Structures are given as structure tokens and as C-alpha cells.
Amino acid sequence: MARTGTTALWVARLSEVVKILALDTTSGACSVALHCDGQTSEQFVAAERDHTRRLLPMVDAVLGEAGIGLSQLDALAVSRGPGSFTGLRIAISCTQGLAFAADLPVVPVSSLAALASGARRAHPEWQGGAIAAALDARMQQVYWGVYSAESPHDSLVPEAVADPLRVLATMTDVALPAPLYGAGPGWHYEALSAAALAAVDLQAGIHAYDIAELALPLWQDGSAVSAEALEPLYLRNEVTWQKRQKIRS
């Protein structure tokens, strides 16, 4: 794999002759990836702002590098959340617009599952363990889930928003596989330093590359939805409701 500058380009061999374009603006980054005829490539920019301005040019660049048009894709993929309200809405709205324009299905992918998959890709030494992915949900809470290599799409505990003490209690109550690793900025809370983790990567982030890879088997299993049926998963419904009310007013 190769990585250059602030924009990363990752390439890996995959086995299926399928074209899936994946988008993500869930957290402090903007990325677009294309799984095309057995390869996945990605453009990734660490940027807290300007996601709306950056995203469509990145889509054009990724498709242009592959020499294909939007209508030649089989599906789109996007992070369904959980994550930042604004970040999720930007990627999902853009994906819906592209899907309507090209009459394409959309594969929603868990942002936490993508975070765990990216951490496993970055840390080959973690291959034998499960990964607890955590995003900072603010208000002294985290979004979190636990993912094994055998079941990278489905969390071993229900994906949830919880305070650090509740996370620790759940990790104690549930028989999680060992070794267990931590990935994501949500693990920065001091109380979570008591978690029984073999190692933690606070810098792990969500990449469209991993959304594209996770989307492939979901698309094959018929898990795609129509553009109008695509909905974000916030997990914190009361905060979402308050923000929607402010937007409407």
C-alpha cells in the first residue's frame, strides 16, 4: 500500500468484479473510495471543515482516475453512523443525490464497523483479536461497538451511546474475546483507561476505503436500499431531535 501527502491513496486486491463508490464525512476527515473490478482506491483528506465543498470534487477525481462514470457503478456506499450530526448529513445527502441522479442502490455501513476495520488494516498485529471502536459523542459519552475479524459488520455488543462507566460495566458483564484492542478517539476519556485493552490507537479514523470493503459483501447479500430509504443512525435521538428543530426554525 502507498500513502502520499494529506491525500492518501490505498490500493488492495479484491476478488469481485463489482464497482462500488463509498463516501464518508462522519468525523474530522473527508474521504471517497472506489472498489472497481477487484481493486479499492481511496482519496482521504484530514479536514474539520469544508466537507461539502470537498466531497463532490473528490468523487469526480476518484471516478476520473478509474476512467468510469457514475452510471457505470453498481452501487454507492456510505457511513450510516453513528457520528457527528452534520458530518453524517453531508455524506448521506450527497450519496442520495448521486443515487437519484444515476438510479443506483445504496449500501449503508456502520461507521463503528468501518473504524474497527481500518484499525485492523493499520495494525496487522491485531488480526487475532476483537476491536472495540469508540467515537467521542461529546457530553461525556462515546459511541461504541466491538467487532471481530470473523464478523466485521456486526458488533458483539449492541452499538450504543454511553458514558465511560457504562462502557466499562458492559465490557465486564459481556464475555468479550481476548485480546481486545481499542480504536478511535472515544477512548481518550480518563475513566476508560481502566478498560482491559491490549493496546489502543486513539488516532484511528473512519475511511471510505473500509466502507467500500465492508459494503461489498453487504451488496452481494442484498442489503442495499433505495436512495429515499437511506437514513442515518444517530443513536442519540433526543439531541438529533433538538438539532432538527433548530434547523426547521
Please state, rounded to an integer, the average pLDDT across all residues of the chain.
88
pLDDT value for 240: 42
Nearest alpha carbon to residue 153 among 133, 125, 167: 133
pLDDT tens per residue, range 145-168: 999 999 999 999 999 999 999 999
167: Cβ–Cβ under 8 A, 6 or more apart, which residues? 134, 142, 144, 192, 195
In order of 10, 86, 136, 237, the CA distances from 189 in angstroms are: 31, 23, 9, 23
The share of the chain scoring above pLDDT 90, in percent, equals 78
Task: Establish whether domains 12-111+205-248 and 126-201 are of one fold.
Answer: yes
The share of the chain scoring above pLDDT 70, in percent, equals 87
> How does residue 38 score in pLDDT terms, banded at 50, 70 and 90?
confident
Superfamily of domain 126-201: ATPase, nucleotide binding domain (3.30.420.40)
What is the phi/psi pair of residue 147, to 5°?
A: -130, 135
Q: Is the pLDDT of residue 202 over 60?
A: yes
Superfamily of domain 12-111+205-248: ATPase, nucleotide binding domain (3.30.420.40)
- Report the predicted TM-score, pTM, of the whole model to 2 decimal places: 0.88
28 vs 114 pLDDT, higher one: 114
pLDDT value for 47: 72
Q: Is the pLDDT of residue 36 over 70?
A: yes
In the chain, where are the structural domains located? Answer: 12-111+205-248, 126-201
Residues 161, 137: contact at Cβ < 8 Å?
yes
Q: For residue 42, with 0-12 CB atoms within 10 Å meaning exposed, 13-18 middle and 19 or more buried, which class applies?
A: buried
pLDDT value for 239: 44
Tally the C-alpha atoms within 13 A of residue 8's C-alpha that lie toward its C-beta.
Answer: 20
pLDDT tens per residue, range 107-123: 999 999 999 999 999 99
